[in-house]
Every structure is written in structure tokens, then in C-alpha cells.
Amino acid sequence: MAIAANSTSVKVIGTNGQISLGKQYAGRQVLVEESEPGVWLVRTATVIPDNEQWLHSSKASTDLANALSWAAINPPSDGALNETLRRISDVEK
């Protein structure tokens, strides 16, 4: 992780209320904290939607690691394809 040196620049707030921070931040999400009127701290952030929080839990991480390990030692095969198709067909009837 690179730590940038502190720098100060003058930006003009446009008539639409926007400030350009530069193309290197295009598309990024940021947190804007207003500590007092006219004083803002802007920080880049990664926001995780509530319905995706579970993906970042230790259980989900463990389950994914186990699934990847299993997949590494159990390569895909179509050797039992006909049997699988027959079972699927039986369930659909």
C-alpha cells in the first residue's frame, strides 16, 4: 500500500455542486464526512451492500476455501454424464 504525501490543492465547486478530484478516482466510491460547516474529509471506500455482507463472513470464506480445495482434487468429468442426465430426467417426470 503506497502512502501519498500530504498535499493541498485549490478546487472550485461548480454551479452543480460538484468537485473534480481527478481521473484516478473516477468511478470510486467515497465517504464524505463534514466535521463542521465547510470542513470536509473525503476518503475512498469500499461499500458492501447489506444483502452481500454474509459473503464477507468467516464462515463464507471457509466454505469457499473448502469448495475450491475440493474442486482442485475433483476435476470436472463427463464420465457420468448419461447417468446424471437420466437422474435429472427422472426428477422432471
Q: What pLDDT band is residue 62 in, cutting at 50, 70 and 90? A: very high
Identify whether 8 is part of a domain. Answer: no
Sign of CA dihedral 42, 45, 48, 54: negative
Compute CA distances 81 → 30, 89, 93, whole Å: 49, 12, 19
- In the chain, the number of structural domains is 1
CA 92 to chain centre: 37
- Residue 36 inside a domain? The answer is yes
Residue 11 has pLDDT above 60, yes or no: yes
Q: What percentage of the chain exceeds 70 in pLDDT? A: 92
- Global confidence as pTM: 0.50
Q: Could you give the CA distance from residue 48 to residue 50 in angstroms, rounded to a whole number? A: 6
Model confidence at 3: pLDDT above 70: no
- The whole-number pLDDT of residue 18 equals 93
The three cell numbers locating residue 72: 482442485
Residue 44 structural domain: 27-55
Q: Is residue 67 part of a domain?
A: no
- Identify whether 88 is part of a domain: no
Judge whether 5 lies within some domain.
no
Q: What is the per-residue pLDDT for 44? A: 94
What are the residue ranges of helices labelled H in the chain?
58-73, 81-92
Q: Is residue 64 part of a domain?
A: no
Looking at the domain assignment, is residue 47 inside a domain? yes
